[in-house]
Structure 1
């Protein structure tokens, strides 16, 4: 909904992901005048029509400069905006912004890491992760988790993104629910509770693939109600994700705690899993983090 304000819109900030797109109409001081979300992510674009979509947004909100972040800058989006190598800062990202229309439309690059036998990439999440530190929502030295289709676990030092790991947690759950042996039973509501936490505890023992089949066996043998199956399997996957991090590159986070950037619905599941695994965690507003990051990048471009 449009906020009552005498401020004038000066910029469109677009979080343009794979399945969804969120537009923030900003005033010069970063105040959000209006927001809108739709399902016009890049998967709905089929590789074309991005310029027309940008024109449509300007037709609604005015002929304003536009700064986009997310999968719109991938090799399946409007243009491939490339990557900045970690360690990465907001200043480095701003310096590498790709101008689709000089001075008018720009796309934020992603961040990559490649070393010690492991390659990884992110696109869009870097704005939130670095924005959270820039706005003081998290400490300059912190451990962060950003749940989602591809969950990101990141380490910030001095406000810079120094390393990260991606886990396909959400995608695997979605794929299991679409087809295969476990699809029958994964249509229920996932919620924190005894079954979710039982899944988290089961994940501590490793052997995720066998435990996933065991979830099916428990259902067939009547040891778990069908309505509880989705929570248990989600607990297995999220628990496996969290346990793997805490047992390796996030080991020090057990003492320091983890900041979880997410909506309450998903973020609270990760908070529950981390709590079950003995790690303190707190929820951080991911939209506030994105706005802080994108406005900081835009200010560096002026």
Structure 2
């Protein structure tokens, strides 16, 4: 059934992206929309799944992301670290005979607790496709950035930093909101923010100086978004690089985000390889489908 082609979907909280893969594993059609899990009414997931098939064909579905959370269609319990492709395949949840949901990955040891859903498919995809070293530190930028340590072709451990969400909250609901409407770009202002984030643990105090410097004529308001983003990402990178050092640092995700993090990592005197998250997702979901 799966070898004749299937539909893969990365179904998040606010968005979903679906791909039609043919028998060779090649993506032949796709779409993205804003129908994340929060937009689906109670009892409405079967209809939402039917909408995907109406657009891409009557094929089996392999779903990843928040669709498997306790707010999604059917909960797919977390697989504990260390976790690789085999553990994810064994943990698939089955809402129906032609629909499977990939589990997330959890960390619960040494006084630390953490979870991910969706990023694990990209991580195991990069491992399976040999796009990263067997021992690597992977940064996955997003609303909740992940730093994952890869060992023995598995996700050994990981840490979440809420950088993207914090920037969005500051942009929408803080005293800095009127200053953060501009475009964030890699440049001297962004890099200065990165360096301040790398060097200072006092990020909550540094954030207020963004407004103060503009009010006192020490900085241009048009630079505030880039500086603030750099400050937060620099702090994020300082946290991420405190993990055990790996031979290779990889930044995986959407290019507009990986470019920011790669620049910040260079400011920390490390080099980073950038990987397209969609390519890694398709590699991971294709490998999982082979194991069904």
* Shorter-chain TM-score range: over 0.9
SS at match of 1:190: coil
Q: Secondary structure in 2 aligned to 1:184?
A: helix
For the residues of structure 2 that align with 1:41 and 1:109, how far apart are their CA atoms? 17
> What is the aligned partner in structure 2 of residue 106 from structure 1?
100
1:189 aligns with 2:183: yes
Output the CA distance in 2 between the equivalents of 1:180 and 1:260: 29
Deviation at 1:60, TM superposition (A): 2.2
Structure 1 gaps, min length 5:
1-7
What CA distance in whole angstroms lies between the structure 2 residues aligned with 1:119 and 1:234? 26
TM-score by length of 2: 0.96
User: How far did residue 282 of structure 1 move?
Assistant: 1.4
TM-score, normalising length: structure 1: 0.93
Give per-residue Cα distances to partners, 1:217-249, cap 9 Å, x unaligned: 112112111111000000010000001222x21
Task: Give distance in 2, aligned partners of 1:46 and 1:139.
Answer: 42
**Are 1:20 and 2:53 matched, yes or no?**
no
> 1:13–1:68: 8 Å Cα contact kept in structure 2?
yes
Deviations 1:147-191 (A, max 9, x none): 000001001112111100000000000000001211111010000
SS in 2 for 1:137: coil
Q: Which residue of 2 aligns with 1:167?
A: 161
Match in the other structure for 1:78: 73
Corresponding residue of 1:124:
118
Rounded to whole Å, the distance in 2 between the matches of 1:47 and 1:219 is 47
Residue 271 of structure 1 is matched in structure 2 by 262
Is 1:299 aligned with 2:290?
A: yes
Question: 1:1-302, aligned counterparts within 5 Å?
Answer: 10-102=5-97, 104-203=98-197, 204-246=199-241, 248-250=242-244, 252-253=245-246, 256-301=247-292
Shift of 1:48: 4.2
Number of residue-to-residue matches in the alignment = 289
For 1:54 and 1:45, locate their aligned partners in 2 and report how far apart those are by CA, in whole Å.
10
How far residue 47 of structure 1 moved from its aligned partner, in angstroms, is 4.6
What do residues 54-91 of structure 1 show as CA deviations (whole Å, max 9, x unaligned)? 11111222221000000111111112111000000111
**Residues 146 and 152, structure 1, Cα contact 8 Å, conserved in 2:** yes
State whether residues 133 and 248 of structure 2, in contact with CA within 8 Å, keep that contact through their aligned partners in structure 1.
Answer: no
Contact 1:144 1:258 in 2 (8 A): yes
